[in-house]
């Protein structure tokens, strides 16, 4: 017995967003949250999260990765976008 195909509406509900938290090296309380990739499958988020964090840190040497997660079906809060560090 085979499983029925998964519809597009179901797949959209299964999408995941990559969330990275970066803090200044000398000021661990000064952190920003980046959401560079949304609408990913969970396995892609897990793999791409590590790659994106390495790329971002190479471009922003004064920052450290404080944490990262793959948010599954969590609505994005209404907030001001975080400024990009220089």
Q: What is the pLDDT of residue 79?
A: 39
- Rounded to 5 degrees, what angle do the CA atoms 66, 68, 70 make? 170
Average pLDDT per block of 10 residues along the chain, 86 residues long: 52 74 92 87 86 93 93 58 54
What are the Cα distances from residue 40, in Å, to 44, 63, 70, 71?
Answer: 6, 25, 9, 10
pTM given for the model = 0.66
Domain limits of the chain? 16-72
Distance CA 60, CA 18 (A): 18
Structure tokens at 84: 């990009």
pLDDT of residue 78: 40
The per-residue pLDDT for 74 is: 61
């Amino acid at each position: 017995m085979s499983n029925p195909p998964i519809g597009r509406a179901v797949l959209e509900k299964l999408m995941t967003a990559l969330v990275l938290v970066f803090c200044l090296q000398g000021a661990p309380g000064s952190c920003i949250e980046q959401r560079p990739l949304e609408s990913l499958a969970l396995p892609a988020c897990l793999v791409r999260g590590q790659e994106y964090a390495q790329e971002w840190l190479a471009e922003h040497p004064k920052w450290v990765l404080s944490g990262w997660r793959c948010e599954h079906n969590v609505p994005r809060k209404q907030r001001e976008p975080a400024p990009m560090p220089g």
